[in-house]
């Protein structure tokens, strides 16, 4: 059995190998997606990366503060019947089939080919774990492992190869994703494509202007966020007005955030942690819930922050059926008064310094494989309870959470499963 995802929690995680050197696999990559090959090709080697639950939060979490409080026989039966266990994937990390059947290039294709030295093992996603050819087998593995849901992303270059609507839609790409959805619904019932293929009917011809040679980091992040929120709300409105009655589907927006704690118990540090969270999380959740940006963001950003009209506020409020949350680590926060007024930008607008160290200079937890990632498991609990209490108790799915782990291609599957680092997490 090999990996079907790079994200799984409370279930066995297997492999997410970015690119196999196996010649047989590379020879197969030009075949159609419906052709499966039973050769294992070292399928059990790879990364034991991160763990994820797709879960439904209906009541305030009553999680143990200490692992010692968890019963020795703790298992899935301790969760409510409507608690959903699932797996999640990212198109580039799993699909492979990088240049066949009409797919266009994506920026990761270009980046990994032109700058292999920027990737630790010089690999790419040209083959990855070959989900494009093996998706039926992967989805069967999900079913066999007891998953209730599968969240996956759509590679737009596979659907719109040129990146422009007038360049045409790749019907083979559409067929592939529809087949994946149908297979998922047949095997494990719940499919959550990150982007609804039906949105192609409303695809806007917003294309890159190649004459643009510069940017403004003091305004453009806010402009992008503003229009992303409005576009999301508009798509939700279209779906609810034209498709909801017959399809009875649900739409989410997925948000990534860190959790922030005050560096000390000083009032200034406590306030800084709240501000940091508002700039990273409230910037999105406040408009989706209240139709406006957090007051502190408005005050600190000023005229550089676009304003919502009354109509847009109404459009935004409640423009989701559930929230997807992605959490990995925590930062401690303290005020930062040393902001250069001549170089204002989103990263410094909060006037907060974020650090992975505590007040005594100790790291907040063990370092994972990524340089920015220090383990603080309880942050996910704090984030869930904060979201519940602050934003009208929304339905929440944890769409990403866990710890990354260095691949060791010399390990057998038996050796790889002796992953104390992941187990301790």
Cβ 272 vs Cβ 343: under 8 Å: no
Do 314 and 414 lie in one domain? The reply is no
Which residue positions in the chain have pLDDT lower than 70? 1-69, 189-214
Are residue 166 and residue 256 in the same domain, yes or no?
no
Helix (H, G, I), strand (E, B) or coil at 258: coil
Could you tell me if 233 and 381 lie in one domain?
Answer: yes
pLDDT at residue 359 in the model: 94
Q: Are 127 and 223 members of one domain?
A: no
Query: Distance of alpha carbon 83 from its chain centroid, rounded?
Result: 20
Which pLDDT value is given to residue 69? 66
What are 388-397's pLDDT values in tens digits? 999 999 999 9
| In a domain? residue 292 | yes
Q: Are residues 92 and 106 in the same domain?
A: yes
CA 244/CA 86 separation, integer angstroms: 24
pLDDT of 82 reads 85
The pLDDT value recorded for residue 121 is 84
**180 and 73 assigned to the same domain:** yes
The number of beta carbons lying within 10 Å of the beta carbon of residue 386 is 15
CATH of the domain at 359: 3.20.20.80
**H/E run at residue 226:** helix 220-242
Shared domain for 297 and 323, answered yes or no, is yes
Kindly write down the DSSP assignment for every residue of 149-215, as one continuous string: EEEE---HHHHSTTSSGGG---HHHHHHHHHHHHHHHHHTSEEEESS-GGGGGG-------TT----
Whether residue 405 is contained in a domain is answered as yes
Q: Are residues 183 and 275 in the same domain?
A: no
Q: Which domain holds residue 78?
A: 1-206+395-425
pLDDT digit string, tens, across residues 12-31 = 222 233 333 333 333 333 33
Whether residue 211 lies inside any domain: the answer is: no
In a domain, 212, yes or no: no
Catalytic (active-site) positions = 207, 400
pLDDT of residue 413: 87
Task: Identify the pLDDT of residue 215.
Answer: 76
What is the structure's pLDDT at 406? Answer: 78
* pTM greater than 0.85: no
Specify the pLDDT at position 211.
52
The count of structural domains within the chain is: 2
């Amino acid at each position: 059995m090999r990996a079907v995802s790079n994200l799984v929690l409370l279930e066995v995680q297997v492999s997410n190998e970015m690119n196999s050197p196996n010649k047989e696999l590379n020879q197969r990559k030009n075949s159609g997606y419906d052709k499966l090959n039973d050769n294992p090709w070292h399928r059990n080697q790879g990364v034991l990366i991160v763990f994820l639950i797709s879960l439904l939060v209906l009541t305030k979490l009553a999680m143990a503060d200490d692992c010692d409080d968890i019963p020795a026989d703790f298992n899935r039966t301790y969760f409510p019947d409507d608690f959903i266990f699932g797996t999640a994937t990212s198109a580039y990390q799993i699909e492979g089939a990088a240049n066949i059947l009409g797919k266009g290039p994506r920026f990761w294709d270009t980046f990994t080919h032109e700058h292999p030295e920027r990737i630790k093992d010089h690999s790419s996603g040209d083959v990855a774990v070959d989900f494009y050819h093996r998706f039926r087998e992967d989805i069967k593995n999900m079913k066999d492992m007891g998953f209730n849901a599968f969240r996956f992303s759509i590679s737009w270059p596979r659907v719109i190869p040129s990146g422009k609507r007038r360049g045409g839609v790749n019907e083979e790409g559409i067929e592939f994703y529809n087949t994946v959805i149908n297979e998922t619904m047949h095997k494990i019932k719940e499919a959550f494509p990150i982007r609804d293929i039906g949105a192609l009917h409303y695809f806007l011809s917003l294309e890159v202007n190649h004459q643009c040679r510069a940017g403004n980091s003091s305004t453009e992040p806010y402009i992008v966020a503003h229009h992303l929120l409005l576009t999301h709300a508009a798509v939700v409105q279209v779906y609810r007005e034209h498709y909801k009655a017959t399809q009875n589907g649900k739409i989410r927006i997925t948000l990534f955030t860190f959790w922030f704690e005050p560096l000390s118990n000083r009032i200034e540090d406590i306030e800084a942690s709240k501000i940091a969270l508002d700039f990273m999380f409230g910037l999105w959740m406040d408009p989706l819930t209240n139709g406006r940006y957090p007051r502190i963001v408005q005050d600190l950003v000023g005229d550089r922050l676009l304003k919502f009209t009354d109509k847009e506020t109404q459009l935004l409020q409640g423009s989701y059926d559930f929230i997807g949350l992605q959490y990995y680590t925590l930062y401690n926060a303290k005020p930062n008064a040393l902001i250069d007024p001549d170089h204002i930008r989103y990263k410094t607008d909060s006037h907060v310094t974020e650090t992975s160290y505590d007040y005594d200079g100790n790291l907040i937890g063990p370092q994972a494989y990524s340089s920015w990632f220090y383990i603080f498991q309880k942050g996910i609990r704090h984030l869930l309870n904060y979201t519940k209490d602050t934003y009208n108790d929304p339905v929440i799915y944890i769409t990403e959470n866990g710890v990354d782990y260095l691949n060791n291609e010399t390990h057998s599957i038996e050796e790889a499963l002796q992953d104390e680092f992941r187990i301790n997490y």
